[in-house]
């Protein structure tokens, strides 16, 4: 795109300048996210920005590589080489992401503002993303602008970058720039001087600047059908030696060092000059690279298979003979696979995986182990079994449970065939743990018991201690307290005898969580001890698990202040140490805490962030679906049932109260709001029985309270938590006081609104309206009017609705976000709808408001006060 006029990018360039000026003026850091499809001109925009801003700020530049499996911290090597000193030493030594991030922040804390650019972060390895997350979260402390470019189309629903972006605050410290393709007018301006039909060009390229300029530069009759045709037509104009050099560069992702190029293609220096002059290649420090990744892929895909294999074999040999003697394991594994060299893959992929795991890049480690397994047929059986186990561990940490289960089962089959009963028992325990996370609670318990039975028949060792600790966790997950404590104490005793610190902390945290959930103050003491010890001894996974257990117990007990501390500190700790599995749980508990304390906007944001990473672990997903469905139900949204029904479908097969209870209670509330009394009875009967069996104070109380609301007369559960017990005993005023003390405004308002005294009812309804619980307020008001109440508040939306006849509650929510300038895709993400559904809502709003465009509709809505109180 740099050969073409810089069309339709002035606003984006001005936005980057304005952001940098804010950093200079306030001495506080900012983040700019530059997003767009491949070839849209993100790199050119950033290059122009650098050209204009280099006198005002120092620039540090890095780019992520499109390797099949990225190098851990690979992009940061570019920055480290420029900066030198402590950062270069830490990156070279493979320091933990937290240490690298702290060093980068120190580097950014100078007097002169720094712009740190990282291109193509959709290709970043997990360790790099951990560093980036930490730097972004703390960038306000330093005078720096962090700029990243990314492609949304490269990010699937499970991509780790989605979670990183979802957690970024929507504030003035984060600028989001979506780079659009060129308009028809801009394409016409480029095509006319080249005597190309602009309409045909626009139709075939969609306005993508790279496609447009490559098609024009090909100088063929007409316009090539695809960009591949354009790139290859351009390459065909080079001399034969230059084309050979282009082929060689095409097999190396990102860039090719000059010394490596000499190994790949024995061509005179003039050929390199020809490729650079043609615009096909560009200098990249001590290397060369294609001007665009699409061009490299087009050339690579055009290579005959035998030539592609031969070039990758040369690349492998060249990298092994690197002048500095450093072997880049990830690149070696990549080219070994491309060359079809099974021995080399099995040599370098496991080593690359091990290094990635040490750096916290667990997703990359899993991919490297998977690569090794694809070529492992000739590997000795014991070594292959070890790779299966390593692959399981990395898949488990990253939430890839289905892949983890397959690898465990294959490793387990090997050890059974080899009659290695100790290893068989240990893998049965690991399989039970993984199956539980994937939602197979019953199978998990069976597996845990089988592991203990097998290992108890062998001499006692660390494997049996781990099995005891895991079985305690399984009973805790099932809310079965007595056996959870019994197995936990047995694990503690054996682990202490064996001096197995990690298993000791695992068991101590489980017992502490069980006791805390039962209201025993000793539980918190155990959790704090386990947490402090795990952190002091750098047992990061145990610390993350302890934070998660403590957050789960305190959120469930509505212990807001205590829960907030565990959730806040736990999320920071898990982010710092790359513990994605536990960070996702804590994100879900944060959303539930926000929801219980009346911060519904924040809760829905958090829930959607969880649902954007649909890992098979059902507990976070059920929590998120419940929040989303209940927030819609309370507002009167007709689309509330799908998430609640999905939550119940996930929960019911597990048989576990911690999954079934919240889903059943949420569906019960939705049925009550819809006037479906029989539905409340049916959905709560089995769940309440289970809650009473487990003597779960909060779950039993909540389920019994919904049954009371539809007239089911039952004894008050003796285990019910105090607020529910007061309400069930007919004392809503006391219940409201207790809920207020706990910081739960919705439950307090509901209790007040159901009292007999009109002042209390009015107060409760006012709070419900303020929270945005339109449907709840309407149900309560109808009930109270039937009992003779008068002059009840009708809520802030009534006057607005009078000004907006025909707009549904969901259309008002869409209008709120439309008025904020969000695109339909962003609105769909925010409200967890399909983009097509949002399109229909926007069309209906424009039609009903007789508005010619979105801006006019938003302005009219603001003028009439339609947005007041919306979007709660």
Question: Tell me, what's the pLDDT at 305?
Answer: 94
φ, ψ for residue 205, nearest 5 deg: -110, -15
pLDDT score, position 295: 81
Q: Could you give the strand order of the β-sheet that contains 287-290, starting from the edge strand earlier in sequence?
A: 256-257, 287-290, 281-284
Lowest-confidence pick of 98-102, 159-163, 459-463, 697-701? 159-163
Residue 248 and residue 241 in contact, taking contact as beta carbons nearer than 8 Å: no
Share of the chain above pLDDT 70, in %: 91
Q: Is 70 exceeded by the pLDDT of residue 113?
A: yes
Q: For 437-451, what is the mean pLDDT? A: 89
Q: Tokens 């292959």 map to which residue? A: 384
pLDDT at 171: 62
Residues 256-271, mean pLDDT to the nearest whole number: 83
The predicted-structure confidence for 648-701, as pLDDT tens digits, reads as follows: 999 998 889 999 999 999 999 999 999 999 999 999 999 999 999 999 999 999
Q: Where is pLDDT greater, at 165 or 320?
A: 320
Query: Binning pLDDT at 50, 70 and 90, where does residue 229 land?
Result: confident
- Report how far residue 381's alpha carbon sits from residue 387's, in angstroms, rounded to the nearest whole number: 10
The pLDDT tens digits of the residues spanning 495-531 come to 999 999 999 999 999 999 999 988 888 999 999 999 9
How far is it, in rounded angstroms, from Cα 87 to Cα 81?
Answer: 9
pLDDT band with cut points at 50, 70 and 90 for residue 761: confident
Question: Would you say residue 348 has pLDDT above 80?
Answer: yes
| Helix extents (H) in 674-808 | 677-693, 697-709, 722-728, 732-742, 745-753, 758-771, 774-786, 797-803
Residues paired with 283 in a beta bridge: 288
Q: Which residues contact 341 (CB under 8 A, 6 or more apart)?
A: 313, 316
Give the model's pLDDT for residue 343: 95
**31-83 pLDDT, tens per residue?**
999 998 878 889 889 999 999 898 889 999 988 877 767 778 888 888 888 88
- Specify the pLDDT at position 865: 56
Position 871 pLDDT exceeds 50: no
Q: Is the pLDDT of residue 595 over 80?
A: yes
Confidence of residue 4 (pLDDT cuts 50, 70, 90): very low
Residue 796 pLDDT: 46
Question: In this predicted structure, what is the pLDDT of residue 222?
Answer: 45
Per residue, what are the HEC states of 340-352? CCHHHHHHHHHHH
**Per-position DSSP letters for 828-843, written without gaps between them:** HHHHT--HHHHHHHHH
pLDDT surpassing 60 at residue 435: yes
Predicted confidence at residue 496, as pLDDT, reads 95
Q: Please say if the pLDDT value at position 646 is more than 50.
A: yes
Does residue 805 surpass a pLDDT of 70? no
- Please state which of the ranges 537-541, 575-579, 640-644, 867-871 shows the lowest mean pLDDT: 867-871
Least confident of 222-231, 319-328, 659-668, 819-828: 222-231
Instruction: Read off the pLDDT of residues 543-552 as tens digits, 9 standing for 90 and up.
Output: 999 999 999 9
- How confident is the model at residue 217, as a pLDDT? 73
DSSP string, 124-140: --HHHHHHHHHHHHHGG
Residue 351's pLDDT band (cuts 50, 70, 90): very high
Residue 741 confidence (pLDDT): 95
User: Does residue 326 surpass a pLDDT of 60?
Assistant: yes
The pLDDT, as a whole number, for residue 563 is 94
**Between 195 and 143, where is the model more confident?**
143
pLDDT value at residue 708:
93
For residue 862, the model assigns a pLDDT of: 60
> Which comes out higher in pLDDT, residue 711 or 164?
711
Pairing of β 174-178 and β 58-63: unpaired
- Contact yes or no for 498/459 (Cβ under 8 A): no
At 748 the pLDDT is 95
pLDDT band at 114 (very low <50, low <70, confident <90, very high): very high
**Is the pLDDT confidence value at 614 over 70?**
no
Residue 869 has pLDDT above 60, yes or no: no
How many Cβ atoms are within 10 Å of 323's Cβ, its own excluded? 8
Report the pLDDT averaged over residues 715-737. 93
- Region 585-594: mean pLDDT is 94
What is the structure's pLDDT at 33? 93
Token pair in block for residue 722 = 């105090």
Report how far residue 582's alpha carbon sits from residue 569's, in angstroms, rounded to the nearest whole number: 12
pLDDT value of residue 155: 67
pLDDT for res 551: 96
pLDDT tens column, 125-175: 888 888 998 899 889 999 999 999 988 766 665 677 877 777 776 666 888
Element at 62 (helix H, strand E):
strand 58-63
Give the model's pLDDT for residue 833. Answer: 65
């Amino acid at each position: 795109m740099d050969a073409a006029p810089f069309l339709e990018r002035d606003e984006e360039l001005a936005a980057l300048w304005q952001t940098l000026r804010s950093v200079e003026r306030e001495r506080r850091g900012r983040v700019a996210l530059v997003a767009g499809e491949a070839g849209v001109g993100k790199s050119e925009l950033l290059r122009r920005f650098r050209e204009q801003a280099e006198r005002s700020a120092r620039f540090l530049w890095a780019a992520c590589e499109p390797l099949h499996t990225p190098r851990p911290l690979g992009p940061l090597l570019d920055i480290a080489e420029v900066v030198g000193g402590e950062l270069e030493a830490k990156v070279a030594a493979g320091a933990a992401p937290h240490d690298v991030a702290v060093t980068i922040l120190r580097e950014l804390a100078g007097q002169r503002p720094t712009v740190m650019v990282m291109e193509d972060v959709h290709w970043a390895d997990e360790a790099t993303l951990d560093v980036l997350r930490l730097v972004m979260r703390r960038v306000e402390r330093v005078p720096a602008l962090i700029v990243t470019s990314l492609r949304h189309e490269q990010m699937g629903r499970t991509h780790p970058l989605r979670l990183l972006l979802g957690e970024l605050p929507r504030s003035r410290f984060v600028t989001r720039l979506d780079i659009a393709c060129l308009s028809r007018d801009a394409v016409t301006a480029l095509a006319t001087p080249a005597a190309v039909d602009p309409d045909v060009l626009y139709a075939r390229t969609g306005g993508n600047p790279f496609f447009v300029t490559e098609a024009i530069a090909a100088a063929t009759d007409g316009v090539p059908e695809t960009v591949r045709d354009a790139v290859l037509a351009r390459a065909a104009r080079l001399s034969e030696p230059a084309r050979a050099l282009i082929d060689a560069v095409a097999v190396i992702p990102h860039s090719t060092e000059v010394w490596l190029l000499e190994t790949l293609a024995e061509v005179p220096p003039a050929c390199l000059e020809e490729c650079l002059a043609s615009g096909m290649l560009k200098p990249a420090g001590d290397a060369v690279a294609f001007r665009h990744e699409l061009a490299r892929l087009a050339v690579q895909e055009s290579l005959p298979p035998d030539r592609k294999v031969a070039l990758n074999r040369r690349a492998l040999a060249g990298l092994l003979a690197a002048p500095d003697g450093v072997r880049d394991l990830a690149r070696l594994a990549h080219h070994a696979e491309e060359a079809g060299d099974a021995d080399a893959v099995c040599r370098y992929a496991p080593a690359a995986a091990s290094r990635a795991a040490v750096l916290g890049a667990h997703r990359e480690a899993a991919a490297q182990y998977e690569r090794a397994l694809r070529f492992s047929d000739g590997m000795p059986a014991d070594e292959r079994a070890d790779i299966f186990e390593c692959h399981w561990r990395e898949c488990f940490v990253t939430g890839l449970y289905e892949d983890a289960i397959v690898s465990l089962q294959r490793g387990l089959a090997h050890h059974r065939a080899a009659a290695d009963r100790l290893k068989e028992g240990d893998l049965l325990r690991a399989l039970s743990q993984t199956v539980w996370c994937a939602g197979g609670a019953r199978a998990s318990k069976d597996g845990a018991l089988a592991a203990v039975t097998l290992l108890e028949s062998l001499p006692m060792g660390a494997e049996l201690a781990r099995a005891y600790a895991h079985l305690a966790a399984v009973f805790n997950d099932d809310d079965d307290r007595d056996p959870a404590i019994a197995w936990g104490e047995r694990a503690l005793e054996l682990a202490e005898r064996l001096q197995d610190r990690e298993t000791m902390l695992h068991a101590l945290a489980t017992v502490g969580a069980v006791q805390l959930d039962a209201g025993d103050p000793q539980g918190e003491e155990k959790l704090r001890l386990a947490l402090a010890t795990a952190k002091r001894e750098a047992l990061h996974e145990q610390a993350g698990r302890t934070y998660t257990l403590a957050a789960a117990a305190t959120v469930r007990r509505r212990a807001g202040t205590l829960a907030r501390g565990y959730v806040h500190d736990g999320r920071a700790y898990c982010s710092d140490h790359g513990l994605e599995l536990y960070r996702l749980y804590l994100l879900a508990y944060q959303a539930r805490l926000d929801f219980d304390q009346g911060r519904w906007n924040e809760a829905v944001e958090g829930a959607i962030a969880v649902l954007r990473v649909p890992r098979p672990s059902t507990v976070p997903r059920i929590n998120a679906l419940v929040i989303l469905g209940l927030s819609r139900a309370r507002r009167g949204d007709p689309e509330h049932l799908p998430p609640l029904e999905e939550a119940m479908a996930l929960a019911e097969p597990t048989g576990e109260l911690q999954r079934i209870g919240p889903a059943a209670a949420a569906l019960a509330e939705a049925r009550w709001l819809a006037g479906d009394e029989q539905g409340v009875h049916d959905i709560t009967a089995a769940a309440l029985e289970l809650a009473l069996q487990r003597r779960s104070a909060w779950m039993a109380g909540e389920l019994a309270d919904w049954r009371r609301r539809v007239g089911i007369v039952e004894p008050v559960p003796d285990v019910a938590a105090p607020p529910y017990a007061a309400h069930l005993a007919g004392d809503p005023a006391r219940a409201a006081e207790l809920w207020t003390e706990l910081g739960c405004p919705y439950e307090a308002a509901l209790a007040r609104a159901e009292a007999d005294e009109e002042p209390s009812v009015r107060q409760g309804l006012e709070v419900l309206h303020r929270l945005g619980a339109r449907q709840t307020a309407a149900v309560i008001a109808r009930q109270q009017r039937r009992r003779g109440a008068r002059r009840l508040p009708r809520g802030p939306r009534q006057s607005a609705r009078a000004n907006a006849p025909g707009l549904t509650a969901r259309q008002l929510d869409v209008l709120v976000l439309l008025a904020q300038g969000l695109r339909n895709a962003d609105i769909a993400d925010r409200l967890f709808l399909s983009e097509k559904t949002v399109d229909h809502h926007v069309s209906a709003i424009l039609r009903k408001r007789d508005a010619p465009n979105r801006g006019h509709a938003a302005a009219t809505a603001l003028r009439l006060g339609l947005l007041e109180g919306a979007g709660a």
